Amino acid sequence: MPETGKCKLCNKQKDLQLSHAVGDSVFKKVFRTNSGKAISITSGDEGIGYCSDSWAEHQLCADCEKLLNSEYEKYSLGVLRGQNCTFSRSNLGLSFSGLDQHKLVMYFLSIYWRAANSGHPAYKNVVILEQDNEYLRNAIFRNLKIPSRKFSVKVSRVIDLSESKGFTSESIKEFIVSPFCRIHEDHKVNNISVCFMFEGFFIEVYIKALTMKERKKYGVLSKAKSTLVIPYLNLFDIEEIVDLMVTGYGKHIEGNSRIKANKSRQKDASKAGASA
């Protein structure tokens, strides 16, 4: 049921919908695969258990929800699922052509902005500068093109390159990881990226734009281009997720789990809450 309040996007008093930063359709796809539930592994003391929480809260009005879906999410989620464009696979990664990268940039930035303005515990690690908060709100609401020197968004396709190949591409697509922050001290100017993982992709939103040289690397979105190579990223090279899986395994060994042993395996965990 909606509740009345100030919509965080249009700033008007309206009936608010149950809003999702990471789209509801992403969660529904995972839930359908797992009989309506996912397996939740957190970095805290909570035990492993089934979960149907899609990280929603009353945040936006119906008009703004429709705007975000029609302008950004429908197209971009289709791209991530191999629609709305032409793509091929190579040793480098996934090569896309015919892309509207402006929509992709705005899609990921809108997820970042919504997560930063959410009170749901899953998004507690997302940080945003006060001036960036209003800047993004206005740009998302008005569908403005954001200069490349303002933010950078990098996308990678996650695969299992370990010798055991314990995770298939399909099982990796069932991971939804609570966003976490990384501090990058190897840049000329220290930077922070907010990291997401869903639909088998690892996304980094850099609060300060990458250098021009770095923006030319594979996976970095550019609104001026219609082609994009999304590089492969080994699941086990994402330290934060490896740490989470180790924590989950430890909880399993200690018996801190509500999942029946014959119904779950570590590699089938489909939703995880991670913190940096």
Contact 223, 153 (CB under 8 A): no
Domain layout of the chain by residue ranges: 3-262+269-273
Pairing, β 271-273 against β 38-42: parallel
CA angle 86, 90, 95 (to 5 degrees): 30
Q: Enumerate residues 6+ apart whose C-beta is below 8 A from 121.
A: 273
Token pair belonging to 31: 């839930």
pLDDT value at residue 269: 40
Residue 267 amino acid letter: K
pLDDT value at residue 149: 93
Beta bridge partners of 15: 4
pLDDT value at residue 158: 95
Token pair belonging to 130: 């006060």
pLDDT value at residue 1: 58
pLDDT value at residue 188: 62
Mean pLDDT by 10 residues, the chain (276 residues): 88 95 90 74 68 89 97 96 89 93 97 96 92 97 95 97 85 89 78 94 96 95 94 94 82 73 42 43
Task: List strand residue ranges (DSSP E) for 111-176, in order.
Answer: 152-159
Please state the separation of Cα 270 from the chain's center in Å.
Answer: 14
pLDDT value at residue 166: 83
pLDDT value at residue 132: 96
E strand or H helix at 26: helix 24-33
